[in-house]
Structures are given as structure tokens and as C-alpha cells.
Amino acid sequence: MRKKKSLAREVVGLKFANPVGLTESTERFQKCSLWAPKAGFIVATPPKEKLIEWSAKLKRISERSLLGVNLNEDIVRSFSLLYDFAHFIILDPDSNNGIQSADISDITELIDEIVGLRLCYERYTPVFLRLSHVETPDELRPLCSYARLSGLDGLVASNPEKVRMTLAECQYRVPVIGVADSVESALQELQDGASLVQTELRPLALKKLLKTLENTPEE
């Protein structure tokens, strides 16, 4: 009987049991996560008005799973409050104090503040930037250059096309997390070179994805 391929991988110094993560954004996930196949990590987006309330919840999650915290509002304050509970942090500057586009000066200012703030902590937590509104190579190019120079640990791209574009612009030197809405798109992003994929797949779809990855021949 052929031995299944190990899905474990190390990304930004973290050891993931497999490269597939689940997004904790709905009650559905909270109910099914107890019996769903084990995901490699969980990504949560805490609402800024409930940061204190969510901190206890995130602490419990981080004790049983690798936890990524997605920050899309009041990012600097949220970063400070939740830093100790996250294994990695995703900056999503879409709605942070009026940043509504891939304006390089605004986003780099935010990155500089976060990277500087991270120096205040004894524990090092990797930081990723979500490329929410970046649609063209010309918009992406300066962000990829800045990511490599600023101390960012990686980028998050929202679909297979953007994953390919990001990897190409970064010359495969920066880890990329893909965001997938189906088994097929998750497989495509991993095949194209994404280090990890973040999904909202239901348990049976997640099980199918992990089984497919296990049965994929080694390259």
C-alpha cells in the first residue's frame, strides 16, 4: 500500500501540519470545527468593538491550533491587544483609517508603524500584508519591493490569478498565502507556488482537499 504524502511544511518559522487553513468568520465554522478534519491553521477576524471579548476566545484557539489574526479595522490598536495570542498576523488595510486603495505611501506608513511596534515584544510574530485592492502588476510591484525591504514576512493574495502575479513580481522570494473559495482554486494556488491557502470550505470539502493533496505524487 502506497504511503500517503506528508502535508507538513514550515513557513515563516512556523510548522504547519498541512498547508490548508480555515477562516473563522461564521457560526457555521464554530459549530463544525469540532468534527471537521484538522486544518493546518485558523484565521480569525475579530471585530474592533469586541477586541477584549475576543482576546479570551483567541487565546483558547491558539492553544489548540496555529492561529492567524486578520486585522482590518483600527489596526495599530488591534495589533497591540492581540499580538500575544497570534502565531501570525495579517494586515488588511482596506478600512483602516480611510486607506481604501493600494496607495503605496499610506500602506507603507502603516507597515512601518507595525514593524516598528513589533520590536517592543520579546516574541517574534510573523506579519503578512493582504493585497485587497491590488489588481495590476504596476500596483503590485512597489508593494512587493517594499515587502522584501521592510521586514514583512509575506503577502496574502485573494485568488489564483493574483497568487501567480504576486509570486512572479516577488520572484518567489516572499511567502504567499492564497485565499481560495473552492477545492479546485486551493489546489491551483498550491500548485502555482502558494505556501499556504486560507479557505471557508465545509468539512467534507476540506477532507476532499486534504485527501487530494496527500495523493498527489511528489515532484
Instruction: Please report, for residues 11, 13, 119, 195, the alpha-carbon distance to residue 122 in angstroms, rounded to integers and kept in the order given.
Output: 20, 16, 8, 26
Banded model confidence at residue 202, pLDDT cuts 50, 70, 90: confident
Residue 26: is its pLDDT beyond 70? no
Confidence of residue 131 (pLDDT cuts 50, 70, 90): confident
Q: What is the mean pLDDT of residues 148-156?
A: 91
Is residue 159 assigned to a domain? yes
For residue 94, pLDDT beyond 60: yes
Neighbouring CB atoms inside 10 A of 219's CB total 4
Domain residue limits at 122: 9-215
Q: Do the domain assignments include residue 3?
A: no
CATH number at residue 111: 3.20.20.70
Mean pLDDT computed over 92-120: 71
> Does the residue 1 lie in any domain?
no
Q: Residue 196 domain-assigned? A: yes
Q: How far apart are the first and last CA of the chain?
A: 20
Establish if 110 belongs to a structural domain: yes
Determine, yes or no, domain membership for 183.
yes
| Position 190 pLDDT exceeds 90 | yes
Please state the rounded mean pLDDT for residues 85-101.
Answer: 72
The better pLDDT of the pair 57, 92 is held by: 92
| In the predicted structure, residue 127 carries a pLDDT above the cut 60 | yes
Give which of 80, 154, 168 is closest to 121, Cα–Cα: 80
Is the residue at 26 inside a domain? yes
Number of domains in the chain: 1
In Å, what is the CA distance from 197 to each residue of 5, 21, 56, 182, 194? Answer: 18, 6, 26, 11, 7
More confident residue, 102 or 67: 67
Q: What percent of the chain has pLDDT over 90?
A: 44
Average pLDDT of the segment spanning 37-48: 83
Local confidence band at 105 (pLDDT 50, 70, 90 cut-offs): low
The model's confidence at residue 219, banded by pLDDT at 50, 70 and 90, is: low
Tell me what the mean pLDDT of segment 71-96 comes to.
Answer: 85
Q: Which amino acid is at 188?
A: Q
